[in-house]
Structure 1
Amino acid sequence: MTDIATEQATAAASGAAATEQFRTKQRADATDVDTRRVDTLVSELLVATHEIVRRHKVTYAEYDALKAWLIRIGEDGEWPLFLDVWVEHVVEEVAGESREGSKGTIEGPYYAPGAPALDAEATLPMRTDEKGTPLLFQGRVTGVDGTPLPGATVDIWQADDDGYYSQFAPGLPEWNLRGTVTADDEGRFRIRTIEPAPYQIPTDGSCGRLIAAAGWHAWRPAHLHLKVSAPGHRLVTTQLYFEGGSHVADDIASAVKPELILAPGPAADGRGHEVTYDFVLDSTDKLDRA
Structure 2
Amino acid sequence: MTVTDQSPSAKGSGASATEAFRASRSRHADTGVSSERVSTVVQAVLDGVHAAIRDHKVSYDEFQAAKQWLIEVGEGGEWPLFLDVFVEHTVEEVAAESQHGTKGSILGPYYLPDQPKLPSVARLPMRPDEPGTPLVFTGQVRDLDGNPVAGAELDIWHADNDGYYSGFAPHLPDGNLRGVVVTDGEGRFEISTVQPAPYQIPTDGPTGKLITAAGWHPWRPAHLHLIVRASGHRPITTQLYFQGGEWLDSDVAKATKPELVLDPREQPDGSLRSEYDFVLERA
TM-score range, shorter chain: over 0.9
Report deviation, 1:271. 4.7
Are the counterparts in 2 of residues 7 and 13 from structure 1 also a CA contact under 8 Å?
Answer: no
Aligned to 2:179: 179
Runs of 4+ in 1 over 2 A off after TM superposition: none
How much does 1:131 deviate?
Answer: 0.3
Give, as a single letter, the amino acid of the residue that structure 2 aligns with 1:195: Q
Q: Secondary structure at the match of 2:71?
A: helix
1:25 matched to 2:24: yes
| Whole-Å separation in 2 of the counterparts to 1:259 and 1:93 | 14
Residue 27 (structure 1) shift:
1.7
Separation (CA, whole Å) in 2 of partners of 1:272 and 1:29:
40
- Given that 2:18 and 2:77 are in contact with CA atoms closer than 8 Å, whether structure 1 keeps it comes out as yes
CA distance in 2, matches of 1:271, 1:115: 29
1:221–1:246 Cα contact (<8 Å) kept: yes
The aligned counterpart of 2:152 is 152
- Kindly provide the CA deviation profile for residues 156-202 of structure 1, in whole angstroms up to 9, marking residues without a partner as x: 00000000000001111100000000000000000000000000000
User: Does structure 2 conserve the Cα–Cα contact (< 8 Å) formed by 1:197 and 1:221?
Assistant: yes
Shift of the 12–72 alpha-carbon distance from structure 1 to 2, 3 Å rule, reads same
Contact map agreement 1:156 1:226 (CA 8 A) in 2? yes
Amino acid at match of 1:43: Q
8 A contact 1:131–1:161 mirrored in 2: yes
In the alignment, does 2:137 pair up with 1:137? yes
CA distance in 2, matches of 1:26, 1:176: 23
- 1:287 matched residue in structure 2: none
Q: For 1:26 and 1:135, how far apart are their aligned partners in 2?
A: 33
Percentage of identical aligned residues = 57
User: What are the Cα deviations for residues 234-278 of structure 1, in whole angstroms up to 9, with x where unaligned?
Assistant: 1000000000000000000000000000000023x6251000100
**Aligned mates of 1:271, 1:63 — CA distance in 2:** 54
In structure 1, the partner of 2:279 is: 280
Superposition TM-score, scaled by structure 2 size: 0.96
Partner of 1:220: 220
Question: In 2, distance between residues paired with 1:105 and 1:35?
Answer: 29
Task: Give the C-alpha shift of residue 281 in structure 1.
Answer: 0.5
Please provide the CA RMSD for this pair: 1.2
The residue matched to 2:26 in structure 1 has which SS?
helix
Superposed CA offset, 1:70-108 (max 9, x none): 000001100000000000001011112111110000000
> Aligned letter for 1:70?
L
Query: How does the TM-score come out when normalised to structure 1?
Result: 0.94
Alpha-carbon deviation of 1:127? 0.3
Superposed CA offset, 1:188-233 (max 9, x none): 0000000000000000001100000000000000000000011111
How many angstroms does 1:7 deviate by? 7.2
Query: Which 5+ residue runs of structure 2 have no aligned equivalent?
Result: none
Q: 1:28 aligns to what SS in structure 2? A: coil
- 1:11 is matched with which residue? 10
Q: Any idea what SS the aligned residue of 1:108 has?
A: coil
Which sections of structure 1, spanning at least 5 residues, go unmatched? Answer: 1-5, 285-290
Q: Which residue matches 1:266?
A: 266
Distance 1:154 1:24 in 2: 20
Separation of aligned partners in 1, 2:6 and 2:162: 17
1:249-260 matches, within 5 Å, as: 249-260=249-260
Aligned residues: 278
Tell me, yes or no, if the aligned pair for 2:24 and 2:113 is still in contact at 8 Å.
no
1:143, 1:242 → 2: CA distance? Answer: 25
Single out whichever of 201-210 and 46-55 deviates more from structure 2.
46-55
* Structure 1 residue 35 displacement after superposition: 1.2
Question: What SS class does the counterpart of residue 227 from structure 2 fall into?
Answer: strand
Greater mean deviation of Cα atoms: 7-16 or 227-236:
7-16
**AA of the residue aligned to 1:89:** H
Q: 1:22 to 1:189 in 2, by over 3 A?
A: same
Instruction: Map Cα deviations across residues 40-59 of structure 1 (whole Å, 9 max, x no partner).
Output: 01111111111111111100
- State the secondary structure of the residue aligned to 1:40: helix
Which residue is 1:98 aligned to?
98
